[in-house]
Structure 1
Amino acid sequence: MALIGLSFFAIGLPEALLGASWPAMGGGLHAQLASVSFIAIVICAASVASALFARRIVRRLGMGNTVVCSVVVAAIGCAGFAFADGLSWLLVFAVPYGAAAGLLTASLNAYIAPRYAARHIDWLHATTAAGATGGHAILGAVIALIVTLVPFPGSWKHAAGPILLGLGCAPINPAVVHLVPRIYGVANTATVIGLQTAAIYGGTLITPSAFGIIAHYHSTSFLPWYLAIFTASTIMAGLATRRQLHVDGTDGGSQGAGR
């Protein structure tokens, strides 16, 4: 369990560092601010591809070897980011980093889903958030946040929205991972979680770009409505899952296992 938790922590550690470090990194490489979106696209595309093939890779290499290889490949990608001297090299090293992230996420989730209780899955996913927080702390994001919030009365209101969004979104992924074996059966867990992981990275790739187009032609003031659309979709998906599992009083596990 401790080793799995450490792996999830490692997934989160570099997760959001690209955006936080790009003002300094991009300036040093004389790259435009928009260039970071191309790197993110490559990372997400590589993650989607590796997540879709995660089950086959685990079958061939085994779980332990898959995790070790993913960590090594991710380390190569991160080291490449550190030593890259141009945007083209960043795009090259985005491929192994993204592929390792997608494969590690899909394979670990497929491993823990049928083996651990929901509370254990929650804690394991919490370590990913802890890793992401730690990564930001390394860059001094905590200090920047304090400097930003303290001098301006009322600025806490600007932080309240992201905090509430984070609290609302955090339980969704571990809850879905926990339900996969119950709905689709243990034999299909790895395949379904691979598809889910690919969908997550695909959404990470598509939804910011879609809003960028909306903001370009209209206004960023549409953001609350944009988020409301996804909130409503999530609620409807949750209600549909609730009806399928009959969690309002009966156990639907035996029915879901054959679907």
Structure 2
Amino acid sequence: MISLLLGIIYLSFISLGLPDALLGSAWPTMYGEFSVPVSYAGIISMIIALGTVVSSLQSDRLTRKLGTGKVTAISVAMTAAALFGFSFSHSFWMLCLWAIPYGLGAGSVDASLNNYVALHYESRHMSWLHCMWGVGASLGPYIMGFALTGGKTWNAGYRWIGMLQVVLTVILFLSLPMWKGRKAGEEQGKGEEADKILSLPEIIRIPGAKEVLICFFCYCAVEQTAGLWASSYLVLYKGMAAETAAGFASMFYIGITLGRAASGFMTMKFNDTQMIRLGLGTIALGIVVMLIPMGANLSVAGLILIGLGCAPVYPCVIHSTPAHFGADKSQAIIGVQMAMAYVGTCVMPPLFGIIANHISVALLPVYLLILLVLMTMMHEELNKKTKR
């Protein structure tokens, strides 16, 4: 029963990744149909991100009330409905409308599932599960591309992904008895303290909370900034051809996905803190390689190293949360971590875009280094405050 439930959780993480890159892959064919500027993709993305932040902050309340199984099933159902809504949309305002349940469905399930895995499974499963998210994020654009090259429209791509989400929704509702009604905090008892829902100010006052939130913010900023601007850096600063740079830039994400697969095995020997330090050190090495004033191929090697370094950080920070703060507080902390993650991905990559536009794209490794230094400081301070 436990292994079957774990398999369903793995499917859920693939499902989480499936819609994430759909908008980017479909938008070049979408925006002309809606007669809007290409930049309007940012509006939809921001609506989705805002919904995700809101639902992440409510994940503790929802999970304590409904349990992880129901939260996951309802959230995936919302995402499926939003994907079908996208597929039948014929105006931009309808896309914006369906982006609301799209975002609300993503945030709470992400936080709730991550906390459930952190509480009930070993660190290796967290790494492999996030590797499965990468598989889903890669499959989404492939399915969309298959629809477009097969004579279908972008609507069909969204509809096909929506159908997969419906199938998963049915599986999740059928699996509800397997979750055994366990809610966050029950492992620590059912007293008043365990059942208390923490407000945002109360969460921030927990020793180490500010440090882990800043650490997580910086990590997501590093990952998204490197992923978004890698190709532009190689083209505009290193003089690489655009079509070549696009292929090489994708190796950053390949590094993350393969790195998380390898990290799962490494966690059998190293604990979460050691894995995070190893990841941060590898990111630092990648940045140093990018700073060496040599050819574009060396910068590509640096980007791959940064991707490999990013691999263990996200899953191990999440998995270590119950150990740092206790199972009764972990859902609340992880919910805010997810919110900080989306804030970091929304704010920091565009900020570098302003720097690149007004100063130089060559500052990318410097920008990443500043974020890495702050992340490392916050992680070490977290370990001191929580005595790890």
User: Normalising to structure 1: TM-score of the pair?
Assistant: 0.84
The Cα of 1:159 is off from its aligned counterpart by 5.2
Alpha-carbon shift at residue 223 of structure 1 (Å) = 2.1
Q: Pick from 4, 7, 10: which aligns with 1:2?
A: 7
Q: Is 1:166 the equivalent of 2:307?
A: yes
2:183 maps to 1:42? no
Matches within 5 A, 1:153-192: 160-192=301-333
Asked which structure has the greater CA Rg, the reply is 2
- Distance of 1:237 and 1:130 partners within structure 2: 30
* Secondary structure of 1:170's aligned partner: helix
Q: Which runs of 5+ in 1 are unaligned?
A: 142-146, 247-251, 253-259
* Partner of residue 83, structure 1: 88
- How many residue pairs end up in the alignment? 242
Indicate yes or no: 2:239 matched with 1:234: no
* Residue aligning to 1:249: none
Matches of 2:130 and 2:385 in 1, distance apart?
25
Report the Cα distance in structure 2 between the residues aligned to 1:61 and 1:134, rounded to whole angstroms.
30
Which residue of structure 1 aligns with residue 342 of structure 2? 201
Q: Give 5+ residue unaligned stretches, structure 2.
A: 1-5, 147-241, 249-294
Query: For 2:302 and 2:41, how far apart are their aligned partners in 1?
Result: 25
Q: Note if contact 1:10-1:128 (Cα within 8 Å) is conserved in structure 2.
A: yes
- The partner residue of 2:102 within 85, 97, 100 is 97
Contact residue 149 and residue 156 of structure 1 kept, 8 A: no
1:197 maps to amino acid: M
Matched with 1:222 is 363
User: Is the 8 Å Cα contact of residues 23 and 33 (structure 1) preserved in structure 2?
Assistant: yes
- Displacement of 1:101 after TM fit? 0.7
Q: Deviations over 1:204-259 (max 9, x none)?
A: 1111222233233333332222222222222223333444566xxxxx4xxxxxxx
Say whether residues 1:118 and 2:123 are aligned partners. yes
The amino acid that maps onto 2:337 is Q
- CA distance in 1 between partners of 2:301 and 2:20 (Å): 22
1:149–1:155 contact (8 Å) kept in structure 2: no
Deviation at 1:136, TM superposition (A): 2.7
- Provide the alpha-carbon RMSD of the alignment: 2.6
Q: Alpha-carbon deviations, 1:169-225, whole Å to 9, x = none? A: 121111011111111001001100001011001111111222233233333332222
User: What is the distance in 2 between the residues matched to 1:175 and 1:109?
Assistant: 11
- Alpha-carbon distance in 2 for matches of 1:200, 1:83: 30
